[in-house]
Structures are given as structure tokens and as C-alpha cells.
Structure 1
Amino acid sequence: MTLQEQHPVADPDTLPDPVPLTGCPYKSNPYPLYEQMREAGPVHRVLFPSGVQAWLVTGYDAAHAALNDDRLGKDHDRGNDRWRARASIMPEPQHSQLQVHLLHQDPPKHTRMRRFVTDAFTPRRIEQLRPRFQELADALVDALPEHGPADLVTGFAAHFPFQVLAEVIGLPKELAARFDRDWGKVVQPVGPTDPGRPLYEARLHGLQSYIADVVAHKREHWDDDLLSRLVVARDRRELSQEELDSMIFQLLVAGQEPVTNQITTALIALFRNPDQLARLRGNPDLLPRAVEELLRYDSAFELTTWRFFDEDSDLHGTRVPGGDSVIVSLCAANRDPRRFPDPDILDFDRSPNSHLAFGHGIHFCPGAALARAELRLALGVLLARLPGLHLVIRDEDIEWIPAVLGRGTNHLPVGYERRL
């Protein structure tokens, strides 16, 4: 029985208003709901677990248009009081100090800030670093048990992207070893009255102190790397202190966790499609095309971050009040049958494959080339060195992370014949 059969699509006319994006069935497989929403129209009001209401864009054409719509801005100051009451969960002063990164900026400020990071993530530079990335991947596999079982999150996926990121941005080993992956959970909403709020704030303070240590270290030990160049830009007043800290915050969190999650979603997709898994294992040359299809099939970036109209505006036939949040479902767009024939089938021969897993327009992910390289290396080394790789729990027992915007799992127990 397929997941689609487990969660049949209901009549589009039965959609509630707002549509709740909550619960384990939704997180384990949101695609039947997205199909239902696409059939009913491109824009729907939705409700998140935090109580935030937003307008969700679902179809491919509508999503592509929204991602390139100059009327929609990313600056949080555009949000109205209704949005701010529930969505601005990061307390002051941290919100003002850590939330002015690229994802929350509009031109010309976005253009000015983005130019500081693009050179570090060019395809040419990533290709030059590929041998080092391969060493890191092999070392992690070397540390896995000689025979299964093993957890591929704690044993591989949680470490490989951060080790690669440290190489790319110039994070020294002693500081990289101190990074706590739990700090990345500060992007997951925890409301002011939530019992988990004290832990959330502790993580936030820990991460902020860590960023201060990174800045201090780079000021004292300058090198020709991205972190050093950002610190120099601050000292030259080309960046504010808040912009510097926020950009480092974005690099540390957005540069690691989404790739960790994408490795897990890709592996789960392969376990659910054993014929494609066998095909890829037998033909590694398929990896570039396979990665693009796996990104389309189940993206770790499920939803984009907030966008806002300055005034009441029409969005594909729906009137959206100014300051309400607009979010694009990248996963729903990537399964739109009007763009991708048989979208629920994992097809490594799909061409063209113009998925939106990395967004589109001026906010297209600057680390896309790096993420692609990481995914190819990760899947390549795991399939080549762990023959017989398979899931050792039932599919329905996979615990999907409760993140609002992303997809992935914190544990992926697998078995394999031996470690080569």
C-alpha cells in the first residue's frame, strides 16, 4: 500500500478555512493535502501550530510567480500586528540582533548583503573543495559499525553538512567542535507560554554567545575566508553588528540543518522505491540527475519563510490583507501534475526538471551548488560503502521532525551487510 493510498485525497470542497497544517499524518505525508489544495485553487488560508494564520501558495505557476513578485517583501517590519502577535517568537533583543539576515531583507539592502557571501559558494569553488568533502564523508562512514544496524542521522547526516560548511566558511576546528546542533532548533516556533520556552531561550542565548566567540576569534586570527571577510566588512562599517551576527546565524543554521534533513528525505525516498535504489547503486553516474529528482520529490525546504504585501493586494484571485504573511509551498509546487507528469513517481529520467527546491528569484538559495555537491557525495558514499543498505523500522514508525517549514527526521535506523 502506498502512502497516497493510506491518506486518500478528500473532495476539494471540504477544505476547512483556515486549513490546519498540523498533526503527525500531515508531517509524515503532506502531499495528499497539497493535492487537495491545488485542485481547489492556488491560494489558501492556513493555520500553523503556533496559532499563526498565513496565506499558502500551492501550484507551480502560482509559486513561481509569487517567488518573483516584487510586491511581496521579506522584511519583518512589513508584517501587521496580527502576524507579529504570534509569529515574532524570538524575544528582544535577539530578534533585532539575529533576524536581519538575507532571508528577511529586500533590495537594496538584500543586494548589498548578498554580495558578501556569493563568492564562497560558487560552483567552481565547491568543485575545488570536493576532494576534501569526500575525505570527510569517508571518515564518517569509517566510524560507523562494521556491520549494521546504525543510525544514519547521528552517525552521518547530522555531522557531514556541518563539517563541510566549516571548511567552506572558515570555521576553525576548535570552534566547530563546540557547535551544538540543538542550537539550530531556535528557528522552530516555541510560543511565550509554551512549557518548552525556557529551553528555547537557553538555546538562543547559547547560540548568541557562540556567534560572539566566532567573531572575536576571526578578529584575532584573520584568514582569507568568508567569516573573516564578514568581520572585516563590519569593521569597515559595510555591515552593522546586527547584520554580521545575523548572517553568521543564517550560515550556521541554514547551512547545516536543511542539508541534514535533505539527506534523510532522499534516503527515505530511496527506501520507499527499492527499484530506483538498486538502479542508483548500480549506476553512480545517475547521481546528478537522481539528486535533482530527489530534491523535487521530497524537499527538506517544504515551505518558504514569510512574505508580505504592503497593502491589500490580489494574489491569484484571492484578496490578501496588507501585512498578512504569504508562504509558498515548494513541496506542493514540485508535485504539481500540470508541471511534472506523474509527479508522485520517483523518476531519475525526468527531463526537464525545473523544481523549486531552492526557491527562485532574488532569494534563490546562495548555497544551492554546495547542497547539490553534498547530496551527491553523501548518497554516493553511503550506497557504495554500505551494501544492502535498508531501513530497519517500519515506514510508519519514522518520526518526522515537527518543524514548520522543513521536512526530515532526527533518527534513521538502517541495516547493511558490512562496511566496505
Structure 2
Amino acid sequence: MPAPDPLPDPVPLVGCPYKSDPYPLYERMREAGPVHRVLFPSGVQAWLVTGYDAAHSALNDDRLGKNHDRGNDRWRARASIMPEPQHSQLQVHLLHQDPPKHTQMRRHVSDAFAPRRIERLVPRFRRLADDLVDALPETGPTDLVAAFAAPFPFRVLAEAIGLPQELADGFDRDWGKVVQPVGPTDPGRPLYEARLHGLQSYIAEVVAHKREHAGDDLLSRLVTARDQGELSQEELDSMVFQLLVAGQEPVTNQITTSLIALFRDPAALARLRDDEALLPRAVEELLRYDSAFELTTWRFFDRDSDLHGTGVPAGDSVIVSLCAANRDPRRFTDPGTLDLDRSPNPHLAFGHGIHFCPGAALARAELRIALGTLLRRLPGLHLAVRDEDIEWTPAVLGRGTHRLPVGYDRRI
């Protein structure tokens, strides 16, 4: 058997074939070694970690920091896409902090997303899902992203963090696209900057409203923490930014990747539709099988370091491929198969270590409710376009679809 062609250096992570199915490339990379230099569409180069053991180790490696100040000039020239002053004002949230600052800031959000609190809110979340299904056409086709997968996570998030209805109604989902890199010379730059300014104005409106109408909710507590000197204004704005963008778009994407996986496996779909008791375990497998968090955000060494046998210069970016780790056959038997009975399932879809996603319990509840509601109330739910015509988002770090045209027999 001839040896496979060597991987290019750097490995380009670009193009529609890669975004529609990155797993063959990740398999080649895992087999060739745990760490590879990669090239993103923006032109930034990074070191990508692919195997499960290497990913787990990197996520727990206290040598790797998240603060952007650690990035070197090569990284900063290409990767600091968000312009100043917005970069300094919106990019000092939890994902870009190291201890002890990270520990202090995370403490402000942990209680709001604690599993016990989320479980108390589940009946309300179920009503939100049912309300959206009630508004669907009696029969398909319909775009399930616009009609359900996008509004449901945002309505849930609004409930969880205390965003009042009048402000929730004014949120423009397009503002979430500010996390998708658009370089300074890109023709789309003016639209990108307009979205950025719109989102900043919205955050200022939210903060002002909560200062005037404080309640027993997360947003009010964050504003109070700022007023008491526990957070800076930039940290407050950044945390609100992170909640509004990272708190709902990945769940939208995970609903779409989960449904596509089920559409491609009709037996699994039918089994889950007929037995909702499978939902908790099925959600874990769907998170493993095709995670909306495809890649982590940047990490940096503060000195030249060895990473699983590869020398990485100080300030170069290190990124972990959660999707590649979750398909590693050395950790998961038959990883390319959707197995609703898989247990245990130690996937890394929410990361690991101190940066484990604080909203994991909320996301899990949303996915259980979303999938259970859609499968129960839309008999015959199926994809209404050819599989190859699915429009995958070009986002660098995440997986999902812009649209998900579906059909169904009727609405119950």
C-alpha cells in the first residue's frame, strides 16, 4: 500500500470541501502527529493540536495562556482583526483571561449557569420551544434556522441572564458575525465595522437599562460588580458581548449539526423520536460526533516551548481541534459512527480544564429540549435539500449552517 501524500506545511484550513467535512483532513493530521502548523483564511498561521490525548493535555497545560497580550507581532499582524478601540473594549472577556483574573471573573457567572438553576428553568424553556413550533407552517418546507434554531437559543439566553423582552426584541442576529474575521482590506470590512458599532451601542443600552432597573439576574449582578469596582468597564462590556454572541450562536449551530447527523442516519432519528428517554445520552453523542465548537480560541506560550515534540515559538498561537479529538479512534471505538448508546462518552465538545464552557448545563438542556420538541411535534421531519447543497458557515472556529431547509408531514 503506497504511503499517503505528505501534508503541506502549513496545512490550509480553507475552502468549502473542508468546511463541509473536515474529518478526513483531521484523520490525516492525527495519523501524521499530534501538532501541525495550519493556515487560516485570514492569513494567520497557528499550531493545531489534533489527537485526543494531546488535546486533553493542551487544554489543561498551565503553560498555555489565553490573554492576547501574550501574542507575538506575527500573530497580532494577522489575527487581531477587530480594530481598536473595540478590540480592547470587547475582547477582555473570560475566553481571553488567565488566572487570577479569569478566576475572579468566572465567579460572577458560575451561579447563573449552575445545573440546579437551569433545571428550574426547563419548564419555561419548553414553553419557548413549543411557542416557536406553534408558529411554523402546518407543513414544510421551512428554514429551521430562521424559524427555530436561531431564535430558540436567544430566547432561552434572555431568560437565563435577565435580558428584558423589549431589549431582546432589538437584538440583530447579524451582530454575532463580528466574531468571523474580516481583514482590513476585505470588501466586507465596512459592513463588519457597522455591525461592530451596532453591537457596541446595543451593549451600552443593555448596561444602562440594567443600571436603571436592577433585578436578581446575571446582567444586573455584572453591572453592580462594575459599579462596585470588581470589574472594569471594558471587562463588563466584554462579558456582555461574550454572553450575547458566544451564549447563543454555538447552540444554534449545534442544533443544525445534530439534526443533519440524524437526517443522515434515519434509524437513529426514528429511535430517538420514539424514545425521548434516550435524549440525554443522544445529546452527548451528537456533541461528540459533530461539535459546533470545532476549534478552540487562541492560546500562547510565554517562552519558546515544546508541545508534544514540536517546538513552538513564544507568542505563536496554539489552537486545539475539539472535533479532531472527538473522532480519535484511540479514545472512541468506531468514532465515525453515530452511536446513541455510547457510554462513557468523555468528549471534549465543551473544552476541559479551567476554560470548560460555563454554559455547558444550559446548552445541554437547550439541545435536549430542541431535539425532543422538533422530533415529537414534526412527524416526518426531513432535510428538504440535497445533502451536498447544505450551506455550511465559513466561520473559522465553529461548525453549523446558515440555513436548514426541512420538510415534515404535519405540525402537531
TM bracket, shorter-chain basis: over 0.9
Look up the SS of the partner of 2:47 in the other structure: strand
Flag the 1:77–1:271 CA change in 2: closer, same or farther, 3 A. Answer: same
Q: CA deviation at 1:371?
A: 0.1
Q: Does 1:245 align with 2:234?
A: no
Cα displacement string for residues 299-352 of structure 1 (whole angstroms, at most 9, x for unaligned residues): 000000000000110000000000000000000000000000100000011111
1:419 is matched with 411
From 343, 347, 350, the counterpart of 1:358 = 350
Cα displacement string for residues 382-414 of structure 1 (whole angstroms, at most 9, x for unaligned residues): 000000000010000001000000000010001
TM-score (norm 2): 0.99
> Gaps spanning 5+ residues in structure 2: where?
none
1:115 is matched with 107
From 51, 61, 76, the counterpart of 1:69 = 61
Look up the SS of the partner of 2:95 in the other structure: helix
Q: Does 1:99 align with 2:101?
A: no
Query: Is residue 12–residue 37 contact of structure 1 (8 Å, CA) maintained in 2?
Result: no
Q: Does 1:44 align with 2:36?
A: yes
2:159 is matched with 167
> Gaps spanning 5+ residues in structure 1: where?
1-9
CA distance in 1, matches of 2:139, 2:78: 48
Q: CA deviation at 1:109?
A: 0.3
2:274 is matched with 282
From 294, 300, 305, the counterpart of 1:302 = 294
CA distance in 2, matches of 1:262, 1:88: 27
Q: CA deviation at 1:14?
A: 1.7
Query: Is residue 12–residue 39 contact of structure 1 (8 Å, CA) maintained in 2?
Result: no
CA distance in 2, matches of 1:131, 1:328: 36
Percent identity of equivalent pairs: 85
Look up the SS of the partner of 1:14 in the other structure: coil
CA distance in 1, matches of 2:274, 2:201: 47
CA distance in 2, matches of 1:20, 1:11: 21
Query: Is residue 37–residue 44 contact of structure 1 (8 Å, CA) maintained in 2?
Result: yes
Q: Does 1:319 align with 2:311?
A: yes
CA distance in 2, matches of 1:290, 1:351: 10
Look up the SS of the partner of 2:319 in the other structure: strand
CA distance in 2, matches of 1:11, 1:112: 51
Kindly provide the amino acid, as one letter, of the partner of residue 330 in structure 2: R
CA distance in 1, matches of 2:145, 2:402: 6
CA distance in 2, matches of 1:127, 1:15: 47
1:3 is matched with none
1:24 is matched with 16
Query: Is residue 137–residue 381 contact of structure 1 (8 Å, CA) maintained in 2?
Result: yes
Q: Does 1:144 align with 2:136?
A: yes
Kindly provide the amino acid, as one letter, of the partner of residue 261 in structure 1: N
Kindly provide the amino acid, as one letter, of the partner of residue 54 in structure 2: A
Look up the SS of the partner of 2:222 in the other structure: helix
Q: Does 1:191 align with 2:163?
A: no
CA distance in 1, matches of 2:124, 2:291: 26
Q: Number of residues paired by the alignment?
A: 411
CA distance in 2, matches of 1:204, 1:272: 37
Q: Does 1:381 align with 2:368?
A: no
Q: CA deviation at 1:11?
A: 5.3
Q: CA deviation at 1:42?
A: 0.2
1:82 is matched with 74
1:7 is matched with none
CA distance in 2, matches of 1:271, 1:348: 14
Alignment of 1:383-402 (within 5 A): 383-402=375-394
Runs of 4+ aligned residues of structure 1 deviating over 6 Å after TM superposition are none
1:229 is matched with 221
Q: CA deviation at 1:13?
A: 4.6
CA distance in 2, matches of 1:209, 1:147: 39
CA distance in 1, matches of 2:62, 2:141: 50
CA distance in 1, matches of 2:260, 2:344: 23
Superposition CA RMSD, Å:
0.7
Cα displacement string for residues 207-255 of structure 1 (whole angstroms, at most 9, x for unaligned residues): 0000000000000001010000000000000000000000000000000
Query: Is residue 56–residue 327 contact of structure 1 (8 Å, CA) maintained in 2?
Result: yes
CA distance in 2, matches of 1:37, 1:268: 25
Cα displacement string for residues 148-195 of structure 1 (whole angstroms, at most 9, x for unaligned residues): 111110010010000000000000000000000000000000000000
TM-score (norm 1): 0.97
CA distance in 2, matches of 1:165, 1:415: 27
Cα displacement string for residues 82-130 of structure 1 (whole angstroms, at most 9, x for unaligned residues): 0000000000000000000000000000000000000000010000000
